Amino acid sequence: MRVSGFMQLKDFLAQMTPEIYQNMKQSLELSRWPNGDKLTPDQREGMLEALIAWEHDNLPEEERIGYMPVNCKSASGEDASETTILRFKD
């Protein structure tokens, strides 16, 4: 990431409230802005990056995006063929 992009993200995260976080997370889950417009791939990528960064400083590990408990099947060496892969809607 460019330094200017990092500074913009850092400034944005400093102003992000839990309400903004929830709205962004819902938009990411639905692949749409609250007004119904679809998120572009770049918007999804940037939003996910911001959400993960915010969560790192504001949520316990088990509540963060992508959290996998230590005792998951893939960590225990069991067959992970039942693993579900989440994909975003286009």
Q: Tell me the CA end-to-end span of the chain in Å, nearest whole number.
A: 25
Q: What pLDDT band is residue 44 in, cutting at 50, 70 and 90?
A: very high
Output the CA angle 65-68-74, nearest 5 degrees. 140
Q: What pLDDT band is residue 29 in, cutting at 50, 70 and 90?
A: very high
Q: What is the pTM of this model?
A: 0.64
The Cα 32–Cα 37 span in angstroms is 5
46 has pLDDT over 70: yes
Residue-wise pLDDT tens digits, 49-76: 999 888 988 888 888 888 888 775 665 5
The domain limits of the chain are: 3-76
By CB atoms closer than 10 A (0-12, 13-18, 19+), residue 11 is: exposed
